[in-house]
Amino acid sequence: MNTAPINTSAKKKYSAKYIRMRILLSMAYKNLLFKRLRTFLTVLGVVIGIGAIVFLVSLGLGLQKVVTDEIVGSNSVKAIDVSSPKPKTIKLNQDAINKFEKYPKVDSVAQTFSFAGKAVFQSSNTDTVINGSDQNYLDLSSFKLVEGDKIAIPSDDQVIVNTSLLKTIGISDNAKIMNQKIKLVIPKEKRQEASGNAEVDEDFEREVTVVGVIDSGSGAEVFTTDTLLLTSGFQDYNQVKVVVASKEDVAAVRKQIESQGFLTASPVDTLDQINQVFTILNFLLAGFGGIGMVIAVLGMFNTLTISLLERTKEIGLLISLGARRKDVKRLFIIEALALSFMGAVFGILTAWGLGKAINLALFNLAESRGVNDTFSVFFIPMWLIVGILAFTAITGLIVVAYPARRASRISPIDALRHE
């Protein structure tokens, strides 16, 4: 059987034993349920505010992820582009490459020549950039293959051309150029410069077979092997890519290369810039969502204050039955936290659902246009969920501070007389 305690010591009578948390929780729950409509509207306000923030921020984060994944996902993020500011004195030749290869954390070095030249196909002839690249360089360049088996040039008399070149020589069907012969021409001045031999008095000319077509920007380009140009006397590379073990090694290796007088560039620069832009964007988006949140917070404050006025009598009763200031405060705080927690949870769920729906629609649209890559323009990371929950909890506490304080200071007898 249960027994109520009997007070034996006078001291005990005036010391505190508070209402159990579970009972406070259930009292708060019942009161919120009792005022269903008002609770619903208040929570709805928070749901809209939180939903707006989460929706907008997750859109920003999703877009950022799509863009940065594209960069980070490709190998190019680990490659440092090296060029020479003064090709005549600071030479980007085989010696330099050998040096780069010995730096710690360097995986490999890819190189390419590029010269302005001409491509001649049947009767048409066009200005083009002629690249002599090793396979490593081709792999790192993330070109898109349009015709052919793969982006590779198996022998010195084969080339890959790009679609822009085909356009300038008037070929609209990319497949037509496959296995056709074209002639590459590099004027003798360039040859003298790059070989360091002023005696050369002939243009470089070579007939090659097209084995692939790629999409690589708007200028006409031809890719041949670096060995073809090396054996023809060219010495100084125009561009070298130094590949490091991981993205984190980029900075250190760049410093080393730059100390030799070379110029470097890296997609990490772009990545940093992109991230900066998105950080600003995300704050702006969160700010827009925040306007909704401000309204929600005002709604919550309103609800809690009205609740305080309505329940003055009840609070008076609780105090006259022996509730302490802390009990009353806690009751209000728990109700506020319950309101904001429900708002946060449903807000996050709403934003998530909306994001999913929009993403699905976008995906279907993309699929109907022939894009088969899966993508997601909404991204809700764990830290965002935790952050939002913490944010709403803190907001709830701030909002309830005043009503809770007032409630706990109510004079019980005045409250019981309150109409």
Q: Among residues 295 and 317, whose Cβ is nearest to other proteins?
A: 317
Q: Is 198 in the site for other proteins (CB under 8 A)?
A: no
Write out the E strands in 148-203.
Answer: 158-162, 181-186
Rg over alpha carbons for the chain, rounded to the nearest Å, is 36
Q: Among residues 25 and 271, whose Cβ is nearest to other proteins?
A: 25
First to last CA, the chain: 41
- Rounded Cα–Cα distance for residues 308 and 414 (Å): 14
- Rounded Cα–Cα distance for residues 75 and 142 (Å): 8
Per CB under 8 A, the segment of 27-35, 110-118, 203-211, 242-250 that binds other proteins is 27-35
Instruction: Tell me how far, at minimum, the Cβ of 408 lies from other proteins, in Å.
Output: 9
Closest CA to 207 of 267, 159, 254: 159
Contact with other proteins (CB under 8 A) among 2, 123, 372, 374: 2
Instruction: Tell me how far, at minimum, the Cβ of 345 lies from other proteins, in Å.
Output: 23
CB 46 within 8 A of CB 296: yes
Q: Which of the residues 354 through 413 are near other proteins (CB under 8 A)?
A: 412-413
Q: Among residues 31 and 174, whose Cβ is nearest to other proteins?
A: 31
Q: Among residues 317 and 358, whose Cβ is nearest to other proteins?
A: 317
Residue 316, classed as helix, strand or coil, is helix
Q: Which of the residues 298 through 317 are near other proteins (CB under 8 A)?
A: 313-314, 316-317
Q: Is 7 in the site for other proteins (CB under 8 A)?
A: yes
Q: Among residues 337 and 385, whose Cβ is nearest to other proteins?
A: 337
Number of residues that bind other proteins (CB under 8 A): 44
b/e per residue 333-352 (b: at least 16 CB within 10 A):
bbbbbbbbbbbbbbbbebbb
Report strand pairing: 239-244 vs 106-121: antiparallel
Residue 212, classed as helix, strand or coil, is strand
Q: Angle 36-73/325-368 helices, nearest 10 degrees? A: 50
Per CB under 8 A, the segment of 19-27, 136-144, 344-352, 389-397 that binds other proteins is 19-27
Q: Which of the residues 315 through 344 are near other proteins (CB under 8 A)?
A: 316-327
CB 315 within 8 A of CB 328: yes
Instruction: Tell me how far, at minimum, the Cβ of 6 lies from other proteins, in Å.
Output: 7
Per CB under 8 A, the segment of 24-32, 89-97, 227-235, 385-393 that binds other proteins is 24-32
- Rounded Cα–Cα distance for residues 299 and 305 (Å): 10
Q: Is 111 in the site for other proteins (CB under 8 A)?
A: no
Q: Is 273 in the site for other proteins (CB under 8 A)?
A: no
- Rounded Cα–Cα distance for residues 80 and 134 (Å): 16
Per CB under 8 A, the segment of 6-14, 50-58, 110-118, 208-216 that binds other proteins is 6-14
Per CB under 8 A, the segment of 18-26, 146-154, 282-290, 349-357 that binds other proteins is 18-26
CB 243 within 8 A of CB 78: yes
Report strand pairing: 158-162 vs 204-215: parallel
Q: Among residues 91 and 325, whose Cβ is nearest to other proteins?
A: 325
Q: Which of the residues 219 through 258 are near other proteins (CB under 8 A)?
A: none
Residue 208, classed as helix, strand or coil, is strand
* Contact residues for other proteins, defined by CB under 8 A: 1-8, 10, 12-20, 22-23, 26-27, 30-31, 33-35, 313-314, 316-327, 412-413, 416
